[in-house]
Amino acid sequence: MHTLLVTGPGGAGRTTVAAATALAAAQRGQRVLVMSGDTADPLGTLLGPPRGPAADFAPGLRAEPVAADGLWRARIDSGDDFREGLAELQERGTAVLGMLGARPLSAEELTELPGAEQFALLRALRRAAGTDTGTDTGAGRDTGTSRTTPFDLVVVDMPPLDQALAALALPAQLRRYLTRLVPAERQAARALRPVLAQLAGVPMPAQWLYETATRWDAELAAVQAVIEADTTSVRLVAEPGPAAAEALRLGRLGLALHGLPAGPVIANRMVPNGSGDPWLAGLAAEQDKYATGWGAYRPLPHLGRAPRGPEDLALLDPGPVPAPDRAAWPVEDRRAEDGLLVWAVPLPGAEKRELDLVRRGDELLLGVGPYRRIVPLPSALRRCTVSGASLADGALRIRFTPDPALWPKR
């Protein structure tokens, strides 16, 4: 199954492209799920009314058939997702909350917090990809289980580019925070907690905390696995112009930093050239100039109005979804020539002034523009010291010198 995340600068028409991509794939014979967390439900307007009854494809994932055979649409209700998640957390922690004198919140009191839409969309992404988290009652921990998904392609209408990148980085970041705040070694004495709980007559707060952290980590790990899978890619949508140029450059850097492959940019709302109108001819020439500067791109025509349904979407086929091609981060062994190991990180379009590089233990903090990522060092580089870095030909080349005290002697 291929997962395609559709995003781009705000107002570029990413929802239209997501719907057109899904419809075209279904018309080519694929089974497709397209989903969005937008409360205004623009997918419903673009794809038309349901063609049949809705179906449950996974717990919490309900979709309805629309527009063409094999095409299903799911609208993710972030409010319901938030209320269900908090209600479950309260239910699991009833005993501990009671010890603290807390009063549980009722469903009517719960209003979703900022960021709930992104969390709901990420959870739906994991469910659509065929990975659930379940509880191993014997060990008292959550585990990931896989199931067969009925879809060949899942198209996700993501938020605008900067928000989408922040959401896609969340699972790895939160897992790191959990590891620091609730380290695994603190759970080594978990065998004593049931005994203490029996003596006290109630579940111990530490036990509840560790079990909750473990469940969250399993959920986040499942989402992270989908994002980092070789079958996941990004489709960027932009309307050619000066505002989109810088947003795309920074967005591509953010995607490269997180290792997310993006195919040709969809140049949306392209004005046809040769209309005979001087103003339109000038606009078309400007759009061509900016789109050409993006490198590989696929043009979609301007319909002269907002798309109104499946018939209009059929005129906006963005083409087949290419197979993901994740760029490697190779480590070059140059010990024989220069006494160095070099880690090459592809960052096309990066500028030296916007780069940040800090080593902390066995991790490297990489910053480019507004984006940050903490990555673990490959095992060989953990026994080295950072001796420099350079940016050339769209790649950051970080030089490492083997530490004689840690490097094995020949």
What does the pLDDT look like over 364-402, one tens digit per residue?
999 998 899 998 999 889 989 999 999 998 899 999 999
CA distance 129 to 232: 10
Q: What percent of the chain has pLDDT over 90?
A: 28
Give the range among 22-31, 275-284, 330-339 with minimum mean pLDDT.
275-284
Pairing of strands 32-36, 297-301: unpaired
- 92-118 tens-digit pLDDT: 555 544 544 555 555 555 555 555 677
pLDDT at 72: 93
User: What residues form DSSP beta bridges with 238?
Assistant: 267
pLDDT confidence bin for 134, thresholds 50/70/90: very low
- Computed over every residue of the chain, the mean pLDDT equals 80
Among 65, 34, 36, CA closest to 49: 65
Q: Indicate the pTM of the whole model.
A: 0.81
- 142-175 tens-digit pLDDT: 344 445 568 899 999 998 998 899 888 888 888 8
pLDDT at 156: 92
User: Which residues have a Cβ under 8 Å from the Cβ of 27 and sit 6 or more positions away?
Assistant: 68, 314
User: What residues form DSSP beta bridges with 34?
Assistant: 73, 155
Does residue 272 have a pLDDT over 70?
A: yes
Does residue 324 have a pLDDT over 90?
A: no
CA distance 194 to 227: 36
- How many helices (H) and strands (E) the chain has is answered by 12, 18
Among 23, 11, 15, 9, CA closest to 321: 23
User: What residues form DSSP beta bridges with 362?
Assistant: none
Domains contained in the chain, CATH given: 1-326 (3.40.50.300), 331-402 (2.60.40.790)
CA distance 217 to 138: 18
Phi, psi of 63 (to 5 degrees): -135, 160
Among 282, 72, 263, 253, CA closest to 161: 253
**Which residue reads 């939160």 in tokens?**
174
Mean pLDDT along residues 211-227: 78
CA distance 15 to 318: 13
pLDDT at 183: 64
User: Which residues have a Cβ under 8 Å from the Cβ of 379 and sit 6 or more positions away?
Assistant: none
Q: Which amino acid is at 221?
A: A
